[in-house]
Structure 1
Amino acid sequence: MRTILIIIFLGLYGIVTLPLLLAIYIIGFFSKKKQYAWCKGFTACLCRGIMFLTGSTIDITGYENIPDETVLFVGNHRSIFDIVTLLFIINRPFGFVGKAEVTKWPYVNMVLSMLGGLFIDRSDNRKALKTILEGIALLKSGHSLLIFPEGTRNKKSTEPLPFKQGSLKLADKANVPIVPFSIRGTDDVFENNSFLNIKRSNIKVNFGKPVLLSTLASEDRKKSGSYVRDLVIQLLHK
C-alpha cells in the first residue's frame, strides 16, 4: 500500500511541479543563490511527502556539532533513501557529490545539479580531477558539500567500506572542516525488502564534531580516509 501511495505521489508531484521546476532552472541564469533557495524548498516538500508516506521516523543526534561555516559532510552510505533523509534534515545550503551514473536519471540529475551537486566520473581521471577542482572552488566560495567516500552503497556490512582518500582532498585543499556523520535504518525502507514492499523504519542520524585536516598529526593526515572512517564507525555505535 505504501509503495502505491508513493508512486502516485511522485507521479502527481512531478507533473504538477514541472512548470515550477523549469522556472527554477531559468532563475539559475540570473541568480544561483535564488535558484538554490527555490530548489531547496521544492525538494524539502518532496522529501517531507516521501518520508510521511513511508511512515518512517528520524532520530537526530549531534546536530549542534554542525558549525555555521562552510563544511564537507562525510558519512557512510546505506541506501538511496540516505539522500531523501539528509535533504530533509540538514537545514542549510549544501550539495551532494555523487557518481556520474546519477546523471542518467534526468529528473534527479536536474534537481541535484540545481542544489549545487557535482558528479564524479571515476572511469575518466581527467574528468574526475576537474570535478574535484570544481568542488574545491565551491567550498572556497562558501557552499557546503556532502560526500559518501565509500563510492557506492554498502549492501553487505553494517560498517562502512574503506573511504577513498581522494574524496577528502575537497576539504583538505579548501581548508574547510569535515563534519562526520553516520546514518542507519535507511536500507530498511526498501533495499532490505524490495521497492514493491516499502516498510517504515526508525532512521538514526548522528553528526560528530567537526575536524580540520590541517590540524591533524602528519600520519593521520596522510591516512585521513581511514581516520575519518574510524570517526564514522564510532558514531554508528553510539
Structure 2
Amino acid sequence: MLKLFRIIAVVICATLICILGTLYSLIRFRHPNNVSVMARWFGRLHGLVGLEVEHRFPANVDEVGPCIYIGNHQNNYDMVTISYMVRPRTVSVGKKSLIWIPFFGILYWATGNIFLDRDNRSKAHSTMTELARRINNEKLSIWMFPEGTRSRGRGLLPFKTGAFHAAIAANVPIVPVICSDTHNKVDLNRKDNGKVICEIMQPIDVSGYTRENVRELADYCHQVMSKRIAELNAEIAQKQEA
C-alpha cells in the first residue's frame, strides 16, 4: 500500500513540476538559471521515497566560475538526489530521445538544456565544440554524466571523453559531483530508506591536458570520484552501525 501511495505521489508531483516548470521556463525562455531552479524542485522530492539526502557544498562553490560538472549516474532516483546539486548558470547535456518523454521532454527543452545525438559522431563532436563556445561566450557551466548511461549497481562505469574534450577546448575546470550508492537501497514499501550523501568536490585543473592525452584526464577524474564515492559509502555504513 505504501509503495502504491508513493508511486502515485511521485508521479503527481513530477507531472506538476513539469507543467508548472515549463510555463515558468517559457516565460524566462532558456534562461541560464532555469535548469538549477527545476533541479531543486525535483531534488526536494526525496522524502517521498523515504530517503534522507545530505547535500555538501564546498565553501568556494560560488567562486569556481564556468566549468564542466561531471556526476555519477546511477538510476532514476538521481532525479531526487544528485539533481539538487545543479548550480545556477548551468545547463545539462542529454540524449535527444529525452524530448519524447511525456511532460519532461518539453521541460528539458524549455529550460535551455542541450540535446546530444550520440548515434552521429560528427554531430556529437560539433556539439562539444559548441559547448566550449557557449561556456566562454555566455559564461555557462555544463553538467554531464560521463558514464553515458545509468550504472544500475555496476559501480562507476568507464567515462566517455566528450565532457573532457569540452573542458580542454574551453579551458575550464572539471568539477566532480558525486552521490553515494542508491542501488538496491530504496524499497518503496519501507518507510525509512536511509541516508544518501551528495557532494560537490574541488575543481580539477585541465590546463596540463590536451586532446592527445584527454583519456588520462578522464581516467584521473574517474579515479578521484570512485575513491570519494567509496568513502561516502563507508561513512554511511559506519553511521548505520553506530
Specify the TM-score bucket, using the shorter chain as the normaliser.
Answer: 0.7 to 0.9
Matched with 1:235 is: 228
Matched with 1:138 is: 134
* Deviation digits for residues 134-163 of structure 1 (CA, Å, limit 9, x no counterpart): 3222322211111111111112422x1111
Q: 1:109 aligns with which of 105, 110, 113?
A: 105
Q: Given the two structures, how large is their TM-score scaled by the length of structure 1?
A: 0.79
Change in 2 beyond 3 A, CA 1:219/1:232: farther
Output the CA distance in 1 between the equivalents of 2:95 and 2:58: 26
Q: Given the two structures, how large is their TM-score scaled by the length of structure 2?
A: 0.77
One-letter code of the match for 1:58? Answer: V
Matched with 2:50 is: 55
Q: 1:64 aligns with which of 59, 81, 85?
A: 59
Matched with 1:150 is: 147
Preserved contact between residue 72 and residue 179 of structure 1 (Cα < 8 Å): yes
TM superposition shift of 1:12: 5.8
- Tell me whether 1:177 sits opposite 2:177 in the alignment: no
Preserved contact between residue 95 and residue 118 of structure 1 (Cα < 8 Å): yes
Matched with 1:5 is: 6
Identity %: 22
Which sections of structure 2, spanning at least 5 residues, go unmatched? 232-242
* Deviation digits for residues 54-80 of structure 1 (CA, Å, limit 9, x no counterpart): 121123345335343111111321112
Output the CA distance in 2 between the equivalents of 1:197 and 1:100: 35
Output the CA distance in 1 between the equivalents of 2:13 and 2:73: 29
TM superposition shift of 1:189: 5.5
Which sections of structure 1, spanning at least 5 residues, go unmatched? none
TM superposition shift of 1:39: 5.9
SS in 2 for 1:157: coil
Q: 1:77 aligns with which of 73, 77, 81?
A: 73
Preserved contact between residue 65 and residue 210 of structure 1 (Cα < 8 Å): no
SS in 1 for 2:163: helix
TM superposition shift of 1:177: 0.6
- Tell me whether 1:128 sits opposite 2:120 in the alignment: no
* Deviation digits for residues 80-134 of structure 1 (CA, Å, limit 9, x no counterpart): 2223323323442312222233222142222223333222221112321232223
SS in 1 for 2:226: helix
Matched with 1:213 is: 206
- Tell me whether 1:224 sits opposite 2:220 in the alignment: no
Output the CA distance in 1 between the equivalents of 2:152 and 2:42: 26
One-letter code of the match for 2:47? Answer: F
Change in 2 beyond 3 A, CA 1:196/1:101: farther
* Deviation digits for residues 10-44 of structure 1 (CA, Å, limit 9, x no counterpart): 3266358736623532541xxx43xx545644553
50-59 or 89-98: which moved more? 89-98
* Deviation digits for residues 139-197 of structure 1 (CA, Å, limit 9, x no counterpart): 22211111111111112422x1111123311111111110113212333455xx6x788
Output the CA distance in 2 between the equivalents of 1:126 and 1:198: 48
